[in-house]
Amino acid sequence: MLDLNYEEVNKIINEEMKNDSVMKIVTICKDLLPLFNKIIKKCEFLPEKRYEIEYENSTSLALSYLKINHQEYYEEAKRMMDNNEIHIADYSLDNAGCDSYSGEIFLGNNRNISDGLTLIHELFHHFNLRPFNRFHQENTISRELFGEAISIAAELDFKRKLEDKSLLEDAKKFEIDYINDAIDCIKKIKVELVLLDLYSVYGKIDKEIIKKFIDNNEDNVFGPIVLEEAESVINNITEWGSNLKIPLNIKYAIGIVFGYYISDLIEEDNNKWKIVYELNTKLYELDFNDLLNIICPLYNNDTIFDSFYKHYEELKKATTI
């Protein structure tokens, strides 16, 4: 269902097309299309794994991990705990996160390993807010996209170092969610790009134009998506330009795919963390492509795909046993 009528949608898209930040996001997504295409061609949604163990103290487990692996992050987490800047609710929380202005972290209590994973994720965001968090309100594309990848890489590293086999097993469930999210988000990006292309060609989009595209392109990106679903993606597009709010699907698609890649680089060479810490505090200053070139100078779509696919295959095996 469309939130707005097409006239309003077209007005917003017209504005967005003139917005440099929006066009930058479009360019990044277009550059990554060969990689995205490969992923949705080769990977399908994994069955959810229904294995869950209760674990009360996964945030302390996360702190122990930080203490051993990320000294500065550990010190900051301790300081925040002492100053009540890390708030842990005693129920599960939909909007866990790191406040962009105050830097405070809000966590729920799910009583499983996800609490520890979330603490690490948000703490890494906390670091990439500095030194701007208390003074600046603006957000940048690099922080939104690359910050997500760094937080996810840190989660994956924590998961990899879990010693308790049953917790490690349980953590796989959250990884399966990530893989499925990435596939879903990439499919939406493809639809968004087609809609923007249609806008460029026709100067507008509406039901007829989209229908015509679907009818004329049998093997089209909408796949089994019917018009109604395409319209829910249009709702997404109308948010592209507002306050540089990067659509969540783009943030997560890039975050997850590059998160796996960064975590693989770190597994190969733990010293890579130094580069990651440095980048994490400099995200505001650097362009997205520069960030990619620093962390993965030899990267190309194939190496990034291989890394994602390796983990996809492992998880696929784990869900079918």
Query: Which positions touch Zn ion (CB under 5 A)?
Result: 148, 151
| 148/192 with CB nearer Zn ion | 148
| 58/151 with CB nearer Zn ion | 151
Taken in order 107, 113, 116, 118, the sign of the CA dihedral is negative
Count other C-beta atoms under 10 Å from residue 83's C-beta.
9
What's the closest the beta carbon of residue 244 comes to Zn ion, in angstroms? 16
SS3 184: helix
What's the closest the beta carbon of residue 125 comes to Zn ion, in angstroms? 6
Write phi, then psi, for 100 (nearest 5 degrees).
-65, -25
| 44/138 with CB nearer Zn ion | 138
Write phi, then psi, for 239 (nearest 5 degrees).
-100, -5
| 194/253 with CB nearer Zn ion | 253
How far lies 166's CA from each of 120, 171, 179, in Å?
20, 9, 20
Residue 64 and residue 164 in contact, taking contact as beta carbons nearer than 8 Å: no
Q: Count the helix, strand and coil residues of the chain and give each as a percent rounded to the nearest 5.
A: 65, 0, 30
What's the closest the beta carbon of residue 292 comes to Zn ion, in angstroms? 18
| 151/280 with CB nearer Zn ion | 151
Residue 176 and residue 319 in contact, taking contact as beta carbons nearer than 8 Å: yes
What's the closest the beta carbon of residue 162 comes to Zn ion, in angstroms? 20
| 15/85 with CB nearer Zn ion | 85
Length of the chain: 321
| 142/151 with CB nearer Zn ion | 151
What's the closest the beta carbon of residue 227 comes to Zn ion, in angstroms? 32
| 202/284 with CB nearer Zn ion | 284
What's the closest the beta carbon of residue 275 comes to Zn ion, in angstroms? 20
Taken in order 275, 180, 155, 21, the sign of the CA dihedral is positive
What's the closest the beta carbon of residue 106 comes to Zn ion, in angstroms? 12
126 φ/ψ sector (left φ>0, alpha ψ -120 to 50, else beta): alpha
Q: DSSP string of 1-36?
A: --SS-HHHHHHHHHHHHT-HHHHHHHHHHHHTHHHH
What's the closest the beta carbon of residue 118 comes to Zn ion, in angstroms? 9
